[in-house]
Amino acid sequence: MQNTWKKAAALLMAAAMSTTLLAGCGGSGDSTATSTSTGTDSSATSETSTESTGSYTDYSAGFPERVTLQIPVYDRGFENWDVTNNYYTQWVQQEFGEKYNVDVQFVAISRTNEVTDYMQMIAAGTAPDIIMHYDMPQAVAYYDQGALQTIDYDEVAFYAPTYWEKMKDTIETYGTVNDDKAFIFAERDPIYYNYVTLIRKDWCDQVGMAVPTTWEELNAVADAWKEAGLGTINHELITKSFTYFYPWIEADSAANQEELALYLDLNVAPFTWSATENYLRAMNEQYNNGELDPNFYLTTDDTMEKSKFVSGECGTYSFYISNGTDAISSLLANFPDAEVAVLNSTPPIVADGYTPYYYEYPSYGMIMGINADSTDEERAAVYMYLEWLSQPENLTFMQYGVEGETYTVNENGINALVTDYTGESALSQNQNKDYWCLVVESISYGDEAKDLESNKLTLAPAGYEDLIQQSYDMCKANESNGLISPIFTSVVESSSDYTADLTSLWQEAYVACITCAPEEFDSLYAEYSQEYLDAGYQEILDEKQALIDAGSVIYPQ
């Protein structure tokens, strides 16, 4: 009898486990099926929505059946912060979700691995209703993968009138790819003075020199540092977001919009462009004079760059400053007499004869597409959520939290964060930005002086507000030197084909050109230029040129 029981139990267990396993497989099979079918679905949707007559169901009283809305949120790995379930996500559910009968689910997207995360979710059919990215080429890549559905502007206007009113010009200008209405955007009123390069002022004083204001002065200071046995100029290996060449663009190139369209690209380094040659030549000189960190190519991330600054190995450090940074406090812990000043902000330091051009953001922030899998109700819910989030009272709550707890309002009407607040309504380390970045990119009072005052509180560690002022002044003085990248309205196919290979070759080539002996520079640069062209850059340039000739480019006004 006992044996029979044992056998029965064994069989039951084996069966149960096998079923679970099979059920798991079944699930994934289903999702593949869904994602496959959506390919055709989305094109069907696009046809109907472009012919839409403008009659939309009004859900302002709530959806008749509960709708699940999946909103992506960047997970930056902040300690003690659950991106998908916290005070603010619960507040969204309570204020927005319950009102409209929507189940708002936040989907974490790893900030450092976002494209892979998105791609996997798209392949599995589990991507959130919004598919987003900060840069246009990658957003276009999602479109190219067939992951987005066509957007009906009338529908956006119907469900999100406030949002549409604010963003319609931007959307109508930039939202189209290959004649498909693919994207909607968040507003961007950019600030540039949160990016700074700090320099050891005490070292400058020690060698009896002023804080440098030009490339030549910087090199002279670094020379003096070398003589005095101090550190070198810091440099983080450039592997993405290529903007290194802006200070080396020649004036006639900057004035030539076609040339800019051809070469400005955050994803592909314009290795063969004159600006890159100028840059590399100057860096080569700096390296060979011993002014640059000799192991710069081993500095592969911000943490390493910071540690070289903090440990006194290097005298400069470039980063996005915020009041939470430990760069200055760690430096002072190691060198109590250390002093820092701003060497440059977003407008870079330039050599004689050059203009401090800088990467100017386009008028949009986050680029969003609607998941091809999303149903009509889910799409409506997305727009309604954007509308709801655009309301000033909701936005302020998401940005600042609860008055009296997470922030106080000072006599000038500026919201000052209570930085040591740790209660349940505490904000995330970047002030909940990853929730409200869907509608605006930065916090603004609509008044520059007020914004500056507010930013001094949020950007500078206590006692270092002057750094923000210095940075602001530098940006202000060079405001007119921003270059906005022209946008292609068609997919540059070869770009996605070759980006990975070119990025890999770029690292090799640029490090080789900087570290070679000065007399070898010309031949090495020519050699690598040819290799770079052969590796796919020529094809990208040809394709871009064809698009330029066909007029498929929007030039900034």
Partner 1 sequence: MPFAKSKPAEALPLQKKGALFYFKRDWQLYALMLLPMVFIIVFKYLAYTGLSVSFLDYKVARGYAGSEFVGLEIFEKVFNHRDFGKAVFNTLLLNILDLIFSFPMPIILALMLNEIRVKWFKRTTQTLLYLPHFLSWVVIGATAYQMFTTGTGIINVLITNAGGSDIPFLQEDGWWLFTYVVIGIWQTMGWGTIIYLAAITNVNAELYEAAKVDGANRWQQCLHVTLPCIRSTIVVMLIMQLGKLMGGSFERVLALSNAKATEFTTTIPVLVYRWFQSNKFSESTALGLFQSVIGLILVLVSDRVAKKLGEGGLL
Residue 240 interacting with partner 1 (CB under 8 A): no
Quick one: 229 or 392, whose CB is closer to partner 1?
229
What are 440's strand-pairing partners? Answer: 187
> Under the criterion CB under 8 A, does residue 214 sit at the interface with partner 1?
no
| Closest C-alpha among 158, 314, 151 to residue 221 | 314
Query: Per rule CB under 8 A, is residue 329 in the interface with partner 1?
Result: no
Angle formed by the axes of helices 493-515 and 274-288, nearest 10°: 30
In the bound state with partner 1, the residue whose beta carbon lies nearer, of 47 and 508, is 508
Q: Which stretch binds partner 1 (CB under 8 A): 81-89, 153-161, 439-447, 508-516?
A: 508-516
* Member of 210, 251, 255, 500 binding partner 1 (CB under 8 A): 500
Say which residues have a Cβ less than 8 Å from residue 73's Cβ, sequence separation at least 6: 83, 84, 106, 107, 108, 109, 434, 435
Handedness of CA 304, 310, 311, 316 (dihedral sign): positive
Residue closest to 145 by CA, chosen among 162, 129, 131: 131
Comparing CB distances to partner 1, the nearer of 34 and 101 is 34
Q: Which of 443, 441, 431 is nearest to 81 (CA)?
A: 431
Residue 102's CB is within 10 A of a number of other CB atoms, namely: 25
Q: Which is nearer to partner 1, 6 or 66 (CB)?
A: 6
Tokens 């900034």 locate to: 556
Residue (40 or 94) nearer to partner 1, CB: 40
Query: Who contacts 247 (Cβ-Cβ below 8 Å, separation ≥6)?
Result: 215, 279, 348, 349, 350, 351, 354, 355, 356, 357, 358
Closest CA to 309 of 243, 235, 238: 235
Q: Where are the alpha helices (DSSP H) in 188-228?
A: 201-206, 215-227
* 211 counts as binding partner 1 under rule CB under 8 A: no
DSSP state of 292: B
Q: How far apart, in whole angstroms, are the C-alpha atoms of residue 81 and residue 122?
A: 26
Fill in the per-residue mask, 34 to 73: x = in contact with partner 1 (CB under 8 A), - = not in contact: -xx-xxx---------------------------------
Which position among 437, 440, 475, 535 is part of the footprint of partner 1 (CB under 8 A)?
535
Name the nearest CA neighbour of 532 among 521, 524, 522: 524
Instruction: Tell the smallest beta-carbon distance from residue 129 to partner 1 (Å).
Output: 14
Tell me the closest approach of the beta carbon of residue 461 to partner 1, in angstroms.
28
Among 68, 110, 119, 166, binds partner 1 (CB under 8 A): 119
Q: How far is the CB of 124 from partner 1 (least distance, A)?
A: 9
Distance CA 196, CA 328 (A): 13
Among 14, 228, 526, 546, binds partner 1 (CB under 8 A): 14
Q: Is 338 helix (H, G, I), strand (E, B) or coil?
A: coil
Query: Of 120-139, which residues contact partner 1 (CB under 8 A)?
Result: 122-123
From CA 442, how far away is CA 426, in angstroms rounded? Answer: 19
Residue 112 near partner 1 by CB under 8 A: no
Residues 165/62, Cβ–Cβ less than 8 Å: no
Instruction: Rule CB under 8 A: say whether 115 interacts with partner 1.
Output: yes
- Does the footprint of partner 1 cover residue 116 (CB under 8 A)? yes
Amino acid letter, residue 217 = E
One of 67, 104, 109, 141 touching partner 1 (CB under 8 A): 141
Of 92, 280, 372, 439, the residue at the interface with partner 1 (CB under 8 A) is 372
- Does residue 504 bind partner 1 (CB under 8 A)? yes
Q: Does 209 bind partner 1 (CB under 8 A)?
A: no
Q: Does 366 bind partner 1 (CB under 8 A)?
A: no
Among 326, 403, 493, 508, binds partner 1 (CB under 8 A): 508
Helix axes 114-124, 136-144, angle to 10 degrees: 20
Among 98, 165, 205, 501, binds partner 1 (CB under 8 A): 501
- Interactions with partner 1, residue window 268-297 (CB under 8 A): 294-295, 297
Name which position in 301, 473, 534, 542 contacts partner 1 (CB under 8 A): 534
Percentages of the chain per state (helix, strand, coil), in multiples of 5: 50, 15, 35
Question: How far apart are alpha carbons 356 and 350 in whole angstroms?
Answer: 6
Binding residues among 146-185 for partner 1 as defined by CB under 8 A: 146-147
Residues pairing with 71 in the sheet: 106
Q: Answer yes or no whether residue 497 interacts with partner 1 by CB under 8 A.
A: yes
**197 - beta bridge partners?**
318, 344
Q: Taking a C-beta distance cutoff of 8 angstroms, is the pair 136, 144 a contact?
A: no
Residue 313 contacts partner 1 per CB under 8 A: yes
The enclosing H or E element of 341 equals strand 340-344
Q: How far apart, in whole angstroms, are the C-alpha atoms of residue 325 and residue 327?
A: 6
Nearer to partner 1 by Cβ, of 313 and 339: the residue is 313
Determine if 237 is a binding residue for partner 1 (CB under 8 A): yes
| Part in contact with partner 1 (CB under 8 A); list of ranges 21-29, 85-93, 196-204, 486-494 | 21-29
Show the CA angle centred on residue 541, arms to residues 538 and 545, nearest 5°.
Answer: 140
Q: Which is nearer to partner 1, 29 or 518 (CB)?
A: 29
User: What is d(CA 320, CA 198) in angstroms, rounded to the nearest whole number?
Assistant: 11
Can residue 32 be called a binding residue for partner 1 (CB under 8 A)?
yes
Pick between residue 149 and residue 415 the one whose CB is nearest to partner 1.
149
Tell me whether residue 1 or residue 449 sits nearer to partner 1 (CB atom): 1
Q: Which residues would be at the binding site for partner 1 (CB under 8 A)?
A: 7, 10-11, 14-15, 17-18, 21-22, 25, 32, 35-36, 38-40, 115-116, 119, 122-123, 141, 144-147, 237, 294-295, 297-298, 300, 313, 372, 496-497, 499-501, 504, 507-508, 510-512, 515, 534-535
